Amino acid sequence: METKKIPDIVVARLPRYLQVLQHMKQEKLVTTNSKVLGDRLGISAAQIRKDLSQFGEFGKQGTGYSVDFLINTLRVILNVTDAWKIVVVGAGDLGHALAHYQGFTNRGFQVSMVFDNDPRLIGKQIGAFTVQDTADLIDKVRAAEIHVAMLTVPASAAQKVAEELVKAGVTAILSYAPIVLNLPHNIQVQYIDPILQLQHMTYYLE
Tell me the average pLDDT across 170-191. Answer: 95
Say yes or no: 68 and 88 in one domain. no
- The verdict on residue 204 lying in a domain is no
Ramachandran region, residue 104 (left: φ > 0; alpha: ψ -120 to 50; beta: rest):
alpha
Q: What does the pLDDT read at residue 102?
A: 81
Asked, for residue 98, whether it belongs to a domain, the answer is yes
Q: What is the pLDDT of residue 201?
A: 93
Task: Quote the percentage of the chain above a pLDDT of 70.
Answer: 96
Q: Are residue 43 and residue 88 in the same domain, yes or no?
A: no
Instruction: Read off the pLDDT of residues 110-158 as tens digits, 9 standing for 90 and up.
Output: 999 999 999 999 999 998 899 999 999 999 999 999 999 999 999 999 9
Q: Are residues 32 and 94 in the same domain?
A: no
Query: Could you tell me if 65 and 160 lie in one domain?
Result: no
Residues 101 and 117 in one domain: yes
Banded pLDDT at 86 (limits 50, 70, 90): very high
* pLDDT for res 5: 85
The predicted pLDDT at position 3 comes to 52
pLDDT confidence tier of residue 62, bands split at 50, 70 and 90: low
At residue 181, the 3 state secondary structure works out as: coil
Asked whether residue 189 falls in the same domain as residue 90, the answer is yes
The residue range of the domain holding 174 is 84-196
Q: Is the pLDDT of residue 14 over 80?
A: yes
State whether 97 and 44 are in the same domain: no
**Could you tell me the pLDDT band of residue 1, with boundaries at 50, 70 and 90?**
very low
Total domains, the chain: 2
Residue 99 has pLDDT above 80, yes or no: yes
- Name all contacts of 17-25 with Cβ < 8 Å and 24+ positions apart: 17/41, 17/48, 17/51, 17/52, 17/70, 17/74, 18/71, 18/74, 18/75, 18/78, 21/67, 21/70, 21/71, 21/74, 22/71, 24/67, 25/67, 25/68, 25/71
Q: Can you give the pLDDT at residue 2?
A: 43
Looking at residue 170, its pLDDT comes to: 97
Ranges 33-37, 92-96, 101-105: which has the least confidence: 101-105
Same domain for 149 and 91? yes
Q: Is the pLDDT score of 206 beyond 90?
A: no
